[in-house]
Structure 1
Amino acid sequence: MNWPFLLLVLGLVSVVIPLGLNAYVYAVTYGDRYREIQQVPPQPIAIVFGAGVWDDGTPTPMLADRVQAAINLYKLGRVQKILMTGDNFHPDYDEVQAMSSYAEEQGVPASDILLDRAGLSTYESCYRAQTLFGIQQAVLITQRYHLPRAVYTGRQMGIKAVGLGTPDWGIFRTDSMTYYTFREFMAVVKALWQVTVTRPEPTVIGPFEGGKSGK
C-alpha cells in the first residue's frame, strides 16, 4: 500500500470537505446577511448571541458591539423586541444580564427584552429560541465571521432568519480574529452535522433561571 499517497489523499479530503461545507453555508445565506443597519428589513425580534463578559460583569467589546447593533435596530423601529441569549449556567457568570443591563442603560425598556440564560452555543440558542420562545422570524446579530453559521443554524431550527453582521477584522486584534476564524471554519462542519444528522436536544430544554443546571 502506498502510504504517502494515502496520507496525502486523506489530508486533502480533510481540507477540501470543510472548505466545501463552509462555502455552501456562506453561499446559501449570502442574500440575507447585511452589514448595515439600514439594510435590515423590519423583523419582529432581534436575537443577540453572547460573546463573553469581563470579571466585573460588563460586556466584552465583541459582545457590546452585538448588543449595540440590536439597540440601534430597536431605536430605528426595525425590531420590536430583543432576545439576549447567552451563558448563565454558573452563578458567577452571567452574559445575559450584562447584555440586558447594557441595553436598558441606553433606553430599551426591560419589557421589550427577553432573556435566555441557557443559550450555551449557537445551536442551543437557535433551538431554544424556536421551541421555548416560539420565534419564527428574526434578525440574528453577531460578528460577520460568525454570521453565516448563525443564520444557517437558525433557518434549520425553523426560524425565518436574516442576519446583521457587526465588524470584526480590522476592529479586533489580528491574532484573535485569526483564531476565531479558524475555529469558526471547523464549527461550521459541526453545525451541519448537528442540524442534518444528530439534532441533539439542548443542555437545558425548558425555562431556566440561571446559575443552576438541569432539564
Structure 2
Amino acid sequence: MRMRLPVRGVTGACRSRLRGAAARLRPRLPRTRRGRRLAVQGLMAACVLALAPATWMHTVADARVRTTADVPAQQVAVVFGAGLWDGRPSPYLANRLRAAAELYRGGKVKVVLVTGDNSRVEYDEPDAMRTFLVAHGVPDNRIVSDFAGFDTWDSCVRARKIFGVERAVLVSQGFHIRRAIALCRAAGIDAYGVGVEAVHDATWYYGGTREVFAAGKAALDALFKPDPHFLGPREPGVEKALATAAR
C-alpha cells in the first residue's frame, strides 16, 4: 500500500524552497541595477565628449560669422579650396570665390589669399582660383597663392606663419566656416568669417556630416598645434600685395 505525503506538507516544502531561492536572488538585483546605471552614465559621458568639440567650435566662432555686407573690413580675405571639376573651381569653390570678389569690389578687403592643394602637377587649386578671381574683377597683383593648404589647419597656420596674416576675413560655406574661424583663431589670426550659401544637395549633406567628425580633429589641432605638412620659409606675397594696394 503506497504512502501519500500530506498535500499541506508538500506545499509547505515548495514554499520554503521558493523563499530560499528568492533570498539567494535578492543580492543580485542591486548589482544589476547598478550595472545598468553605470552603462547609462558611460553612454552619457561618451555623448558629452563627442559633442564637446562642436560646442567649443560654435562658442568660439558663432559671433564672428557674418555676411559680405556686415563683416568688418580687413586687409586680407582667405579663401579655402573646395575641389576642381575638369581643372575649374567646383560650384562650391566658385561660390566662395564670388563672395571674395564681392568683398574686394566692396572695399572690405585689399588682398585675397587663395589656399588649396597643389600636391600634384595636374591638380592646381590656387591657380584655378586665381584665374576665376581675375575674371571676376580682382587684379592679379592683389591675389596671393598658398599651394600647400592641404587642410583647414594647414591653411590657417601657413597664413599666419608663412604669409604673416594677423587679421583676415575667411570665406567658406556655412557648414565649414565655424571650424575655419576656430582654427585660424587658434593659429593666431583675428578672424571673421563669411558663410557662403549653398544648395542643399548631396555635397552639402556630406559636408555637414563630415563637420561632425572634423570637429574632433579641429579641437586636437587647436590644443596641440602641430606643424602643417609643409611649413617652409616666410613668403612676402601678402606684404607685397598690400604695398601695391597702398600706392
TM-score, normalised to structure 2, is: 0.76
Secondary structure at the counterpart of residue 216 of structure 2: helix
Query: Contact 2:77–2:111 (CA<8 Å) still a contact in 1?
Result: yes
- Tell me how far apart the structure 2 counterparts of residues 12 and 94 of structure 1 sit (CA, whole Å): 45
Which structure has more RCO (C-alpha within 8 Å, separation ≥ 6)? 1
Aligned twin of 1:172:
200
Query: Contact 2:98–2:136 (CA<8 Å) still a contact in 1?
Result: no
The verdict on how the C-alpha distance between 1:110 and 1:16 changes in structure 2, with shifts beyond 3 A counting, is: same
1:196 corresponds to 2:223: yes
Deviation at 1:5, TM superposition (A): 6.3
Deviation at 1:10, TM superposition (A): 4.5
The verdict on how the C-alpha distance between 1:15 and 1:181 changes in structure 2, with shifts beyond 3 A counting, is: farther
The verdict on how the C-alpha distance between 1:178 and 1:107 changes in structure 2, with shifts beyond 3 A counting, is: closer
Higher helix share: 2
1:161 corresponds to 2:191: yes
Query: Contact 2:162–2:232 (CA<8 Å) still a contact in 1?
Result: yes
- Tell me how far apart the structure 2 counterparts of residues 177 and 15 of structure 1 sit (CA, whole Å): 24
Aligned twin of 1:52:
83
The verdict on how the C-alpha distance between 1:5 and 1:155 changes in structure 2, with shifts beyond 3 A counting, is: same
Matched residue count: 202
Aligned twin of 1:23:
55
1:205 aligned residue (225, 231, 237): 231
The verdict on how the C-alpha distance between 1:145 and 1:104 changes in structure 2, with shifts beyond 3 A counting, is: same
Deviation at 1:178, TM superposition (A): 2.4
Return the index of the structure with the highest Cα Rg.
Answer: 2
- Tell me how far apart the structure 1 counterparts of residues 112 and 95 of structure 2 sit (CA, whole Å): 14
Secondary structure at the counterpart of residue 38 of structure 1: coil
Which of 188-197 and 45-54 deviates more? 188-197
